[in-house]
Structures are given as structure tokens and as C-alpha cells.
Amino acid sequence: MSRVQAPLFSEKQAGKCDVCGRECEVHECRNGHLLCDGCADELVFEKVIDYCLRSESDDPYEIFRGIISTDCVRMHDYKHHVIVGSALLTANRNAGYQCDLEPMLREMLKRGRRVPLGACELMGDQLLPGQIGAPEGLVPAGVDGISDGL
């Protein structure tokens, strides 16, 4: 039976971010820290990268489900634009592609953040090829692996 945890962040409230010091709407984490949206997102993205670096699975769906089952990502969240590509890169590395995964995940983070908020709501499944294509572009041309199982 899975353990249900309290959400990582509370609803927004007025306050001062404990990380960057900005006065704005902040979330309170379960440890009592106040974080603005930007600093909260950074925390989540670091958790995604950490999960991927520790994963031994070569199944991108299993990796994706593992990441979103943590308490830091909502079901419908723009962070999926980063998570899909990160899961594909991680599965590829774990299936035998020799690479330095962390810089590739950080580049995937940059690329996924460029997807406009709400784009998937407007575009639906048309956005998926971009999520798959973003990590594909990180693997050098002529290298077998990332698209072999798709």
C-alpha cells in the first residue's frame, strides 16, 4: 500500500521568499519554508534531475511514473514538458547509451521550460512530438538508442 504524503507546497499566500528574498505570493513547504513560484520550481526540477540520476530503469514510462508519483509534481503541470524528455534520456542511458546524463538533463530542463504555459491544453497531443524530439536532439547524430524502442 502506498503511503500518502501531505503535498509538498501549500496554497499561495502573501509573504517573503526564504530563498531569493522577494516579497510576493509564496508557497509554504511542509518544512515551513516560504518559496516563490520560481524557487519552488527550481526545487522540483532538482528533484527530477536527482531522480533520473539515481534511476536504474530503462523503461521511460516507469521513470516518468516514478517522477510524477512523488509529491512535487501535479498531474496536470507544465513540468511534464521537462519530465517526458528527462525520462527518455534516462531510459536511453540506462539501456546502454554511454553519456554524461546530468548535462543532458540540464539541457532538457532549458528546452522544456521554453514550452509556453498552457500549450498542451491548446495543442493536445500535437505537443508530444516536441517532447520526444527535444531529448532526441541531445543524442549525437548516428548514435543508435533513443528512438530504437519508440
66-113 residue pLDDT tens: 988 876 676 667 787 888 889 999 999 999 988 899 999 999 888 888
Q: Name the residue ranges covered by the structural domains of the chain.
A: 41-136
What's the confidence (pLDDT) of residue 70? 72
pTM for this one?
Answer: 0.73
Residue 120, H or E segment:
helix 119-123
CA dist 76 and 60 (Å) reads 18
pLDDT of residue 1: 36
Whether the per-residue pLDDT at 61 is higher than 80: the answer is: yes
Confidence of residue 136 (pLDDT cuts 50, 70, 90): low
